[in-house]
Chain A
Amino acid sequence: MTPAAQQAVPEPGGAHATPAVSVKDLDVTLDGTHVLRGVDLAASRGEWVNIIGPNGAGKTTMLRALLGLVAFDGEIVIDGRRDRRRSARACKVAYVPQTPVIPPGMLVADYVLLGRTPHRGMFAAETADDRRIAAEVLARLDLAGFGERTVQSLSGGERQRAVMGRALAQQADVLLLDEPTTALDLGHQQDVLELVDALRRERGLTVIATLHDLTLAARYGDRIAILAQGRVAETGPPAEVLTVQNIEEHFGASVRIVDDPDGPVIVPTTTVSTQNGDQP
C-alpha cells in the first residue's frame, strides 16, 4: 500500500482555509439523554477527518446531526450555509451508512440514480444529465456493466462500491462515512479507503469518517478527533492524538504504539503471558 500523498491536499489553514464544515457548540439530546455536549469540529476543503471514540461516544449521532437528521442546538455551517432544510443539506452532504439498507429487487442503475434525488426533487424524472452522472460514477467505480443487475446480487465489496456510487452521484462536496470498513475483509477495507482517498483528491471532497480501527484511522486521515462521552476530547494530526495515554484514557485499552513511516501502528497488548514469557 502506498502512503497517502499528503502534498496533494490543501493544508488546513492554508490558502483554501474556508472550512467546508464548521461545527460549533453542538448539543444533541436524544430521548432525554445528552448525547453530544458542546462539540466543536471543523474540516477544511479537501481534508479527511476521522472521528474515533469508544462505543456510545456519539460518533454516529455526530454524523446524523451533520446530515440534519436529528434536532440540535448550536451551529452547523456547511459550505458557508446554515440551511437546515434536508433537501438543501443533501445537495451538500452525502452519506455512506454503516449498514446500508439494500432494497429488494432494485437495479444498480436505479440505486445510484437515487443519489440525484436532492437535485431534482422527488417528483421529477431523471434528466439526461442525471443519467450521465450516474453512468460516469459507475464507470469510475468499476461497476460499468452492473447497471441492470440488482444490488442484492452484488458481492460485499461491489455493494460497498454501489453505495459509494450513490453518494458520489449526489455530487456533494462533503462525504460522511460511518464505519466504512465494517464487515469487509482486510483487502476490501484497504480498497474502500484507498478509493475514498483517490476520490477526494480527484473531486476535492471533504471526508468525515468514523472508524473503529485506529491504525487505519491514522493512516488515512489528515486529522483525528477523539469523541468521548459526547465531547471532543482530543483533535489533531494522528501522531499527536494517538498516544498510549489518550487511548488508555478514552478507550480503556492497553496498547503499544509502533512507529511506522506510514503512521503510527496501534497494537493491543495482552495481560496474558505470551509464549516467550514477555510481560507487558
Chain B
Amino acid sequence: MSDSQRYGEPGVVLQASGLRPRPLAAGVAAVALAVVAGLTVGPVDIAAHRVALQLLDGLPGLAIDSGLSDAHAAIVEQIRLPRVALGLLVGATLAVSGATYQGAFRNPLADPYLLGIAAGAGLGATIAITSDLGDGAGVFDAVPLAAFAGALISVTVSYVAGHLGGRSTASLILAGIAVASFLTACQTYVLQANSDAFRQIFAWILGRLATSGWSEPALLLPYFAVTVGVVLRYRRALDVLAVGDEEAAALGLEPRRIRMIVVLAASLGAAAAVSVSGLIGFVGIIVPHTVRLAFGASNRLVLPLSILFGGAFMVLADLAARTALAPAELPIGVVTAFLGAPFFVLVLRTSRREVW
C-alpha cells in the first residue's frame, strides 16, 4: 500500500493497472518451465542442457554439437518440439478467448464455447468421422476442417439469432445456448446412427494434442496471431465495457460493435484450436480466473497473462496426459479438468481478491 499512501502528496501521479514486470516475468518463467519439462520428460529422458544445445544448433548460422544421438535429436525436434508448440498455441488461444468472452459478456462463467463452438465443432467432426472422410493427414484431414466449419457456423448463427432477439448480451447468450443444444441434438442423432464410430468420436471430443510434425502448429499459428492481435488491441476497451453498455456508451464507446469484434476474433481462434485439438474444456475458464485472482482483474493484464499461463498450463497438462499411464495416453481434456479443478479451488481459497 506504499503507492496509495503517496497519492495524497502533491506532484505524485497515480498508476493505472497494467502489465507490470513481476507478473510478466512469472508468466514467461511458467512458459519456460513448461517448455523445458515438455521437451525433456517422456519415455526417453533427455538432459535439459542437451535439449537446449540441440535447439541452438537448429538456429540458422549456428553449428553446435549437442551430444545427442540422431534418434534422440529426432525425438526432440520432430516429436516433442511440435507437440509443445501445439500445446502452447492451443492453451494460449483457449485461455485468451475465454478471458475475452468473460470480459465482453461481463460474465465469469463465459468460456469460448458459450456461443456453440464446441457443439458446432463436435457435429462437424462427427459428420466427418462417420462419413469416413477423416482418412487424410494433417492439413488435408477432413475432421479439423469440418470441425472448424461447424464451429464458425454455430457462432455466426448464434450472433445473428441473438441480434434478432434484441441485441442484449443476455439474448446473445440464450441464442448460443439454443444453437448449441440444437447442434448437440444433431450430433447425438448422427452418433446413434453410426454407433461403430462411437469410440473414435468420443476420443475426439475428449481432446488430444497428437501432432504429425509441424502441420498442426503451423495451421493454428495464423489464427492465434489474428485472435491475439485483435483482442490485445481491444484490452483497454474491454476494461471500459466492464461498467456496462450504457455507461461505456456515455464514455464515448460503441459497446455492441466492440463486443462483436472481440467475440468474433476470440471465436475464430477458439474454433481453430478446437479443430486441431478436439474439445479441451476448462482452460478458458480456469486460466483467466487464476490470473485475475493472482494479479488483478484488469483486462490489460488478464489478456496477455492468460496467453502465457494458458500455454504453459496446456503443455504441462499434456505432459501429464502422456506420462501418467505411459505408454497409454490420457485424453488431455480429462487431465485439464482433473488437475485444473483442484488447483482452482486452492487458488479460490487462498486469494483474497474480489474479482467478480
A residues with a Cβ closer than 8 A to B are 67, 69, 86-91, 93, 95, 97, 100-101, 103-107, 109-111, 113-115, 117-118, 122-126, 128, 131-132, 134-135, 138-139, 144-150, 152-153, 170
- Asked if B242 and A106 make an inter-chain contact with CB atoms under 8 angstroms apart, the answer reads yes
* Residue in B12, B258, B298, B353 whose beta carbon sits within 8 Å of that of A110 in the complex: B298
B93-130 contacts to A, CB under 8 A, are 106, 108
Please measure, in the bound complex, the distance between the C-alpha atom of A126 and the C-alpha atom of B235, giving whole angstroms.
13
- Asked if A131 and B240 make an inter-chain contact with CB atoms under 8 angstroms apart, the answer reads no
Q: Which 7 A-B pairs have the closest CB atoms?
A: A105-B297, A90-B252, A103-B242, A105-B355, A87-B252, A101-B244, A144-B8
From B14-22, B146-154, B264-272, the one touching the partner chain is B14-22
Query: Can you list 14 A-B contacts (CB < 8 A)?
Result: A69-B249, A87-B252, A101-B246, A106-B297, A107-B17, A114-B240, A132-B13, A134-B14, A138-B7, A146-B4, A147-B3, A149-B4, A150-B353, A150-B354
Residues of B within 8 A of A69 (CB): 246, 249-250
Residue-wise, chain B 273-285 has the 8 Å CB interface mask toward A (1 for contact) of 0000000000000
Q: Contacts A123-B233, A123-B237 given; indicate if A89 touches B252 (C-beta within 8 A).
A: yes
Residues of B within 8 A of A97 (CB): 246-247, 250
Smallest CB-CB separation from A146: which chain B residue? B4
Please measure, in the bound complex, the distance between the C-alpha atom of A126 and the C-alpha atom of B239, giving whole angstroms.
13
Q: Contacts A122-B237, A153-B354 given; indicate if A109 touches B247 (C-beta within 8 A).
A: no
- Asked if B237 and A145 make an inter-chain contact with CB atoms under 8 angstroms apart, the answer reads no
* Residue in A86, A104, A109 whose beta carbon sits within 8 Å of that of B297 in the complex: A104
Residues of B within 8 A of A109 (CB): 14-17
How close is A111's CB to chain B, nearest CB, in angstroms? 8
Q: Contacts A101-B243, A109-B16 given; indicate if A144 touches B7 (C-beta within 8 A).
A: yes
How close is B260's CB to chain A, nearest CB, in angstroms? 15
B229-257 contacts to A, CB under 8 A, are 233-234, 236-237, 239-240, 242-244, 246-247, 249-254
- Asked if A103 and B7 make an inter-chain contact with CB atoms under 8 angstroms apart, the answer reads no
Smallest CB-CB separation from B8: which chain A residue? A144
- Asked if A147 and B7 make an inter-chain contact with CB atoms under 8 angstroms apart, the answer reads yes
How close is A154's CB to chain B, nearest CB, in angstroms? 12
Residues of A within 8 A of B353 (CB): 105, 150
Smallest CB-CB separation from A115: which chain B residue? B251
Please measure, in the bound complex, the distance between the C-alpha atom of A86 and the C-alpha atom of B240, giving whole angstroms.
14
Asked if B5 is an interface residue, CB under 8 A from chain A, the answer is: yes
Residues of B within 8 A of A117 (CB): 240, 251-253
- Asked if B16 and A126 make an inter-chain contact with CB atoms under 8 angstroms apart, the answer reads yes
- Asked if A105 and B251 make an inter-chain contact with CB atoms under 8 angstroms apart, the answer reads no
Interface size on B, residues (CB 8 A): 41
How close is B261's CB to chain A, nearest CB, in angstroms? 11
Asked if B296 is an interface residue, CB under 8 A from chain A, the answer is: yes
Residues of B within 8 A of A131 (CB): 13-16
Most chain B CB neighbours (cut-off 10 Å) among A88, A104, A125, A138: A104
Asked if B1 is an interface residue, CB under 8 A from chain A, the answer is: yes
Please measure, in the bound complex, the distance between the C-alpha atom of A38 and the C-alpha atom of B154, giving whole angstroms.
45
Please measure, in the bound complex, the distance between the C-alpha atom of A91 and the C-alpha atom of B244, giving whole angstroms.
19
- Asked if B253 and A86 make an inter-chain contact with CB atoms under 8 angstroms apart, the answer reads yes
Residues of A within 8 A of B298 (CB): 106-107, 110
Residues of B within 8 A of A145 (CB): 4-5, 7-8
Please measure, in the bound complex, the distance between the C-alpha atom of A122 and the C-alpha atom of B299, giving whole angstroms.
13
Smallest CB-CB separation from A167: which chain B residue? B250
* Residue in A91, A107, A113, A138 whose beta carbon sits within 8 Å of that of B252 in the complex: A91
How close is B165's CB to chain A, nearest CB, in angstroms? 14
Residues of B within 8 A of A147 (CB): 3-4, 7, 14-15
Please measure, in the bound complex, the distance between the C-alpha atom of A111 and the C-alpha atom of B248, giving whole angstroms.
12
Residues of A within 8 A of B13 (CB): 128, 131-132, 134-135
Q: Contacts A97-B246, A139-B7, A145-B4 given; indicate if A104 touches B14 (C-beta within 8 A).
A: no
Please measure, in the bound complex, the distance between the C-alpha atom of A145 and the C-alpha atom of B242, giving whole angstroms.
23
- Asked if A148 and B252 make an inter-chain contact with CB atoms under 8 angstroms apart, the answer reads no
Residues of A within 8 A of B259 (CB): none
Smallest CB-CB separation from A89: which chain B residue? B252
Please measure, in the bound complex, the distance between the C-alpha atom of A144 and the C-alpha atom of B10, giving whole angstroms.
11
Please measure, in the bound complex, the distance between the C-alpha atom of A259 and the C-alpha atom of B15, giving whole angstroms.
50
Please measure, in the bound complex, the distance between the C-alpha atom of A238 and the C-alpha atom of B298, giving whole angstroms.
45
- Asked if A135 and B14 make an inter-chain contact with CB atoms under 8 angstroms apart, the answer reads yes
- Asked if A105 and B292 make an inter-chain contact with CB atoms under 8 angstroms apart, the answer reads yes
Residue-wise, chain B 7-36 has the 8 Å CB interface mask toward A (1 for contact) of 110001111111000000000000000000
Residues of A within 8 A of B356 (CB): 104-105
Smallest CB-CB separation from A138: which chain B residue? B7
How close is A91's CB to chain B, nearest CB, in angstroms? 7
Please measure, in the bound complex, the distance between the C-alpha atom of A149 and the C-alpha atom of B13, giving whole angstroms.
16
